[in-house]
C-alpha cells in the first residue's frame, strides 16, 4: 500500500519523483500528490484523487516550481475517502511543513481532539494531518526537523512511515518508520527515500533498510539514522539485485502477463545454488536455526495471508511427508488472537512476498515473544519480516509489479519445498536416494512449467473470451491440488470480480454440490493416476457427479490421462512430472484464465479495484 518517494540533490525533483511514483503504482492507490521546495525556498504542493495521470494533468495545468528537495505519495485510502482534500501531502497550518504517511495512526482521534482544543483547524478527514500539525508544533519549539520527529513519533501508536520537509530546512528530508517499510537509496551527491527500492533503482542500486523505530535524515551529501531516543544507528548497506528494466513491462500488454512468463526463471532462480551433491543444503540460516536446533523441532506453523497462505497449504503436505513433523497453516491475521501454543521447539515459518505484510509481521513478533523459532520466506531483500526473524530463505523471483501474485507464488512453494527437504535430511526422515529423486524432479520443473505456459495460453485465452459473461466459477482439487483450486478461485475474484470458490473435491457431497446446475463451469485439478491411483479414481468420480448435474468441466490433468478425457468438456494437459511438482505446473493455467477473463471484460489486470500489492496495515 501507499507509495513513497523522496529526493534531495541537485536535480529538479518533480519529474524524478513522478517517475518514482510511476514505478510504485503496483502497490495500489486511489490518489497521488507531491511537495517541492523550489529554488526560492517556497514549499508548493499538488495533489489529485485518481490515478497518476490526473496528477500529471494537474502539473501541466498548474506547474510546480523546480527544486532539489521533494516528496511524492500515492495513497490507498484508510481514514477518509479518496478525494483531493484527503490526498497527501498534508500541510501544517502555516503551510511551511509537508507530510506524507503510509500506515495507520491508531490514536489519531485523541491526538486530534487535543489539537482541536488548541484551536487547530483541520482540512482533511485523515489521520495523517494529525502528524503534520504535531510536527509543526514540535518544530516551533526545537527549530530542528529531526528533533521534532523524535518528539512526535514517541506519541504515535500504530503503523507508520512518516516523511516530512520544512520550508526552513531546504535540502533536508526526514523520515521515521514503525511497522511500515522505508528504504534509503544512496547516490553520489544525492539521496533518496522510498517505500520500496523500485522508487529509486533507476538512479542507484545501493540501499539501506530503515529499521523498526528509527528516524532517518537525508541531505545531498549525508545520511543519518538514529533510533527514536536519538541513539546513532549504523545501517547495513546492500545492493539491489535487479535493475529498473526488470520492473518495466518490456512490451508485454500487462505486468501480470510478463510475470507469468517469468515464472520458470523465478522458480529456477529460487532453487539455484541450494543443492550440494544432489541434496538440499541451507547452510546460512543462522545459529538459532542450526541443524541441531532444527533436528529438535517438534511442531511447525506456517503463517501467511492471501496467496501466500495457499503456498503454505501446498507445502504443508510436503513438509509433513518429508520431515515427519506436524505442520499447521495459520492465517497471519488470526494467529495471535487464537492464543497458539508456542515454545522453543516450535518453528514458525512466515511467507510474504514483500516482507512487509503487516499481519504476518505481527504474527512473527508474537511468535518470537513466546519463544518460538522463526524463519521467513521472502522475495524482498532487507525487508522487515526477514530482519525480525531468526533466519530467512529468499526467493529470487525478481520484482513482482502486478497486484495479483503469480511468480512469487511458485517461488514460495519452491522455497518451502527446500525447507522441507532440508529438514527431512537433518532429521533423518528422508534417505539420500529419495531426497535426490525429489531434488531432480524439482530441478526439472522450470522447463516443464515453461512448456505449460507456452502450450496452453492461446487455448485458455479463447476459452476465457467465450466465457466473458460467466457469473460464477467453481474449482475442485484433492491433496496438493486443493490449495491450487483455492488459489485459482482467488485469482478470479481478484481480477474478474465474479463469484469463484475453491473446494476440496471430497467436500462436494457435504454441501457444495448444491451450487452445481446446468452450465456451471467447474475447473478440476486432477492428480496423476501414476502416483495417486486411489486419489485419481476419487476425483474422476467427482467429475462424473458434477457432469451428471449439468456442469461444464475444465480438467487440468497430466497428458495421456485417458480416464478423464470422456468426462471433460475441456482438457488442459500437463507434462508428466512428480506428485509434488504437479501444483507448480497446474496453477499456471488458472492464472492465465483469470488474467484473460479480466482482459475479456475490459478490466485493469495489473491494478484490480480495492486491492494493494503490499498490505502494510492490519
Query: Which phi and psi angles does 477 have, rounded to 5°?
Result: -160, 160
User: 412 with 311: CB under 8 angstroms?
Assistant: yes
What are the residues facing 91 on neighbouring strands? Answer: 98
User: 9 with 204: CB under 8 angstroms?
Assistant: no
Query: Which phi and psi angles does 474 have, rounded to 5°?
Result: -110, 155
User: 587 with 488: CB under 8 angstroms?
Assistant: yes
Chain Cα centroid distance, residue 273: 24
Question: Where is 279: in which H helix or E strand?
Answer: strand 279-280
Is 378 an active-site residue?
no
CA atoms within 13 A on the CB side of 196: 30
Distance, in Å, from the CA atom of 184 to the CA atom of 600, rounded to the nearest integer, reads 40
Q: Which three cell numbers stand for residue 382?
A: 532487507
| DSSP one-letter string for 171-238 | T-EEEEEESS--EEEE-SS-EEEESSGGGTTTT--EEEE--TTEEEEEETTEEEEEETTS-B----EE
Is 2 an active-site residue?
yes
User: Which of the residues 22, 47, 448, 613 is marked catalytic?
Assistant: 613
List C-alpha distances in Å: 465 to 452, 489, 551, 606.
20, 18, 19, 18
Strands 222-227 and 279-280, how do they pair? unpaired
Distance, in Å, from the CA atom of 608 to the CA atom of 300, rounded to the nearest integer, reads 34
Question: Where is 481: in which H helix or E strand?
Answer: helix 481-496
Distance, in Å, from the CA atom of 475 to the CA atom of 502, rounded to the nearest integer, reads 5
The count of other CB atoms within 10 Å of the CB of residue 233 is: 16
User: Which of the residues 2, 22, 448, 491 is marked catalytic?
Assistant: 2
Angle at 20 between CA 14 and CA 25, to 5 degrees: 120
**Residue burial 398-425, b: 16+ Cβ < 10 Å; e: rest:** bbbbbbbbbbbbbbbbbbbbbbbbbbbb
Residue 582 DSSP one-character state: H
User: 70 with 125: CB under 8 angstroms?
Assistant: no
Distance, in Å, from the CA atom of 376 to the CA atom of 387, rounded to the nearest integer, reads 9
Of the chain, the end-to-end C-alpha distance in Å amounts to: 11
Strands of 552-602, DSSP E: 552-558, 570-574
Active site residues: 2, 613
Amino acid at each position: 500500500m501507499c507509495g513513497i518517494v523522496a529526493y534531495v540533490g541537485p536535480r529538479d525533483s518533480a519529474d524524478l519523483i513522478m517517475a518514482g511514483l510511476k514505478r510504485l503504482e503496483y502497490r495500489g492507490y486511489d490518489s497521488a500528490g507531491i511537495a517541492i521546495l523550489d529554488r526560492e525556498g517556497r514549499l508548493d504542493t499538488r495533489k489529485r484523487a485518481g490515478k497518476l495521470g490526473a496528477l500529471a494533468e494537474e502539473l501541466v495545468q498548474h506547474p510546480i516550481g523546480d527544486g532539489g528537495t521533494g516528496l511524492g505519495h500515492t495513497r490507498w485510502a484508510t481514514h477518509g475517502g479518496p478525494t483531493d482534500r484527503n490526498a497527501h501531502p498534508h500541510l501544517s497550518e502555516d503551510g511551511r511543513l509537508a507530510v506524507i504517511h503510509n500506515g495507520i495512526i491508531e490514536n489519531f482521534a485523541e491526538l486530534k481532539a487535543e489539537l482541536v482544543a488548541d484551536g487547530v483547524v483541520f482540512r482533511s478527514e485523515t489521520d495523517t494531518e494529525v502528524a503534520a500539525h504535531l510536527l509543526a508544533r514540535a518544530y516551533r519549539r526545537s527549530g530542528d526537523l529531526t528533533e521534532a520527529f523524535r518528539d512526535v513519533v514517541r506519541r504515535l501508536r500504530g503503523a507508520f512511515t512518516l516523511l516530512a520537509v520544512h520550508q526552513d530546512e531546504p535540502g533536508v528530508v526526514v523520515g521515521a518508520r514503525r511497522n511500515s517499510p522505508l528504504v534509503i537509496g544512496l547516490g553520489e551527491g544525492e539521496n533518496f527515500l522510498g517505500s520500496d527500492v523500485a522508487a529509486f533503482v533507476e538512479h542507484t542500486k545501493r540501499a539501506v533498510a530503515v529499521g523498526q523505530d528509527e528516524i532517518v535524515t537525508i541531505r545531498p551529501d549525508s545520511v543519518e539514522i538514529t533510533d527514536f531516543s536519538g541513539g546513532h544507528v549504523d545501517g547495513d548497506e546492500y545492493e539491489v539485485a535487479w535493475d529498473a528494466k526488470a520492473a518495466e513491462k518490456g512490451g508485454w500488454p500487462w505486468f501480470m502477463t510478463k510475470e507469468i512468463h517469468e515464472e520458470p526463471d523465478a522458480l529456477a532462480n529460487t532453487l539455484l545454488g541450494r543443492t550440494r551433491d544432489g541434496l538440499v543444503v541451507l547452510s546460512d540460516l543462522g545459529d538459532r536455526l542450526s541443524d541441531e536446533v532444527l533436528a529438535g523441532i517438534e511442531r511447525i506453523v506456517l503463517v501467511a495471508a492471501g496467496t501466500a497462505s495457499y503456498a503454505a497449504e501446498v507445502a504443508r503436505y510436503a513438509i509433513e511427508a518429508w520431515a515427519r513433523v506436524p505442520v499447521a497453516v495459520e492465517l497471519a491475521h488470526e494467529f495471535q488472537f487464537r492464543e497458539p501454543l508456542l515454545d522453543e521447539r516450535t518453528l514458525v515459518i512466515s511467507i510474504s512476498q514483500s516482507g512487509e505484510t503487516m499481519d504476518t509481521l505481527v504474527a512473527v513478533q508474537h511468535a518470537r515473544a513466546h519463544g518460538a523459532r522463526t524463519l521467513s520466506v521472502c522475495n524482498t531483500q532487507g525487508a522487515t519480516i526477514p530482519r525480525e526473524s531468526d533466519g530467512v530463505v529468499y526467493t529470487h523471483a525478481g520484482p513482482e509489479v502486478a497486484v495479483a501474485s503469480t511468480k512469487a507464488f511458485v517461488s514460495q512453494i519452491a522455497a518451502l519445498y527446500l525447507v522441507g527437504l532440508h529438514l527431512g535430511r537433518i532429521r533423518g526422515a528422508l534417505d539420500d536416494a529419495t531426497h535426490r529423486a525429489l531434488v531432480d524432479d524439482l530441478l526439472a520443473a522450470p522447463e516443464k512449467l515453461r512448456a505449460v505456459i507456452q502450450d496452453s495460453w492461446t487455448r485458455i485465452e479463447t476459452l476465457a473470451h467465450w466465457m466473458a459473461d460467466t457469473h460464477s466459477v467453481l474449482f475442485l482439487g484433492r491433496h496438493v491440488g486443493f490449495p491450487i483450486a483455492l488459489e485459482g478461485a482467488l485469482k478470479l475474484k481478484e481480477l474478474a470480480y465474479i463469484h469463484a470458490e475453491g473446494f476440496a473435491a471430497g467436500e462436494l457431497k457435504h454441501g457444495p454440490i448444491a451450487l452445481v446446475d446446468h452450465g456451471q463451469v467447474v475447473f478440476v485439478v486432477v492428480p496423476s493416476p501414476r502416483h495417486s491411483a486411489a486419489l485419481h479414481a476419487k476425483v474422476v468420480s467427482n467429475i462424473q457427479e458434477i457432469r451428471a448435474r449439468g456442469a461444464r468441466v475444465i480438467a487440468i490433468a497430466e497428458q495421456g490421462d485417458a480416464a478423464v478425457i470422456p468426462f471433460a468438456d475441456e482438457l488442459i494437459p500437463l507434462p508428466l512430472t512428480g506428485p509434488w511438482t504437479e501444483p507448480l505446473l497446474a496453477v499456471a493455467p488458472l492464472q492465465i484464465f483469470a488474467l484473460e477473463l479480466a482482459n475479456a471484460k475490459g478490466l485493469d489486470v495489473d491494478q484490480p479495484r480495492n486491492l494493494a500489492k503490499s498490505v502494510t496495515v492490519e
